Amino acid sequence: MTKTYAGGCACGAIRYATGGAPIVESHCQCRDCQRRSGTGHSSYLVFSGRAEMTIDGEVATWSVAGDSGNEKVHAFCPACGTPVYLTFTAMPDLIAVHAASLDDPGQFEPKAVTYTVRGHAWDSLDPALQKFQRMPAG
């Protein structure tokens, strides 16, 4: 039986679903994620096969260059402001959904924390997770 990952924004105007499995599930403590989330990190499930994810509703977007210099495009609901997903210009097949946007956030099973170099002592995450000071290579 295929597991479905589905979710959307707070007001329901944006919905997504995929039967694909995430290739990465992690927390990110970079400054962009801190500012966007309003706390110490953001949490993501990254899927390959972006074309396999259905997305209903119109999103608004904004872009930022990551440490690599590559553009990340953040999609959010223009009605309620909920961040829903992001895409990567250099890796167009990938899409990362915000873990809290899942209908069942319990599906999120983080395996790592990235950008711990930017982490704060008050943002305690599971000490058993693999830690990376920046984004791991390859």
> Does any domain span residue 52?
yes
The torsion angle over the Cα atoms of residues 93, 99, 101 and 103, rounded to 10 degrees, is 100
The fraction of the chain above a pLDDT of 90, given in percent, is 72
> pLDDT higher for 16 or 69?
16
Q: What average pLDDT does the segment 115-120 reach?
A: 90
> Does any domain span residue 123?
no
> Does any domain span residue 124?
no
Q: How many domains does the chain have?
A: 1
Please count the residues of the chain: 138
Find all residues with CB under 8 Å of 8, minimum gap 6, and list them.
14, 15, 16, 57, 84, 101, 103
Per-residue pLDDT tens over the stretch 41-61: 999 999 998 889 999 999 999
User: Whole-model pTM?
Assistant: 0.90
* Average pLDDT over all residues of the chain: 92
Distance CA 82, CA 28 (A): 18
> Does any domain span residue 70?
yes
> Does any domain span residue 133?
no
Domain housing 46 = 5-118
> Does any domain span residue 138?
no
Residue 138: predicted pLDDT: 55
> Does any domain span residue 41?
yes
Q: What average pLDDT does the segment 117-136 reach?
A: 89
* Residue 102, domain CATH: 2.170.150.70
> Does any domain span residue 102?
yes
